Amino acid sequence: MSIKIVGIIGSGLMGTGIAQACATAGIDVIVRDIDPAALKRCIESVSSGLARLVAKQKLTEEAKTAALAAIRTTTDIKDLSGADFIIEAATENLALKQKILQEVEAIAAPSCIIATNTSSVSITKLAATLAQPGRFVGMHFFNPVPVMALVEIIRAIQTTDATVALTEELARTVGKTSIGVKNAPGFVVNRILCPMINEAIFVLQEGLASMEEIDAGMKLGANHPIGPLALADLVGLDTLLAVMNVFYSDFKDPKYRPAPLLQEMVDAGYLGRKSGRGFYKY
């Protein structure tokens, strides 16, 4: 089976990035969101991203035009019925994702692979929502999608080998390297990364060092390309909090408790780059 059309549910940061990666690779993309304004921002963001690649001579003007032409947007989920592969990239909310996946299965072709880009929700639990759970898989991209080379491919207990193979094929087609992961909270990268960022927030909260000193320490002392607090702003503090809450709930281990300062920042609406303010101002 050749993947020619990819449907994407959600036109936020991740959905937009996945759309750009697929369209640049020559795949037709249909992005669905319930908010027309969000869809407009999605296209504007992809256009800006492609323009930057053209300016850096990493993409031709012709390729930019072709990629933009390959993306369609819609508010009607039925428009995804012809897709070969559908990726859900909605908010990290179990009930919402389950509802969306049931809607997707109702309109998807029998051969269509259904995937989720979740960074924390159980793939097995989401698969159980579907009548055909064997065609469900986790396909976790990293932000910013056009730049980051990794995709985690997570199998539910129900996922078939054929589903995994097609997902690996799509990852290769869009220029990503994939790693196979068993279903567990946070999978591999976030299981390691998010507690590290959370601990950096504890260090800040306890006054051990300033934001700038913590970030400089990890950049210069651990050779990280970006400090953990700046990375938290990039990821989104609300996303980080959601992941830590899943860890805390699922592992029943106090080492995963979210830092109180993280909760306070989210309560204040300081979500990072996307809100103009997180640990730093943007």
Summarize pLDDT for 200-222 with one digit per residue, the tens: 999 999 999 999 999 999 999 99
The annotated binding site is made up of 10-15, 33, 92, 97, 119, 143, 274
Let me know whether 87 and 226 are in one domain. Answer: no
Let me know whether 205 and 265 are in one domain. Answer: yes
Give the pLDDT mean for 65-69. Answer: 97
Helices (H), the chain: 13-24, 36-55, 61-69, 94-107, 123-127, 161-173, 189-205, 211-221, 228-235, 237-251, 260-267
What pLDDT score does 91 carry? 87
- The enclosing domain of 234 has a CATH number of 1.10.1040.10
DSSP state, 279?
S
Let me know whether 220 and 117 are in one domain. Answer: no
Give the pLDDT mean for 259-265. Answer: 98
Contact 41, 120 (CB under 8 A): no
Q: Please list the residues that pair with 9 across neighbouring strands.
A: 32, 88
Residue-wise pLDDT for 21-48, tens only, equals: 999 999 999 999 999 999 999 999 999 9
Which domain covers residue 242, as residue numbers? 190-273
Domain's final residue, options 139, 158, 182: 182
Active site residue 119: yes
- The enclosing domain of 148 has a CATH number of 3.40.50.720
What pLDDT score does 120 carry? 79
What is the C-alpha separation between 81 and 224, in angstroms, rounded? 43
What is the secondary structure of 9-22 as a DSSP string? Answer: E--SHHHHHHHHHH
Let me know whether 139 and 24 are in one domain. Answer: yes
Spatial neighbors of 37 by CB under 8 A, at least 6 apart, are: none
Task: Assess if residue 122 is contained within a domain.
Answer: yes
Token code pair at residue 85: 């592969």
Let me know whether 146 and 218 are in one domain. Answer: no
Structure-token match 């012809």, residue found: 82
What is the C-alpha separation between 12 and 16, in angstroms, rounded? 6
* Element spanning 113, H or E: strand 113-116
Domain's final residue, options 182, 209, 236: 182
* φ and ψ at residue 67, rounded to 5 degrees: -65, -45
Domain's final residue, options 166, 182, 198: 182
Active-site position among 119, 120, 183, 198:
119
Residue 44 CB neighbours (<10 A): 11
Active site residue 224: no
The annotated binding site for NAD(+) is made up of 10-15, 33, 92, 97, 119, 143, 274
Active-site position among 105, 117, 152, 178:
152
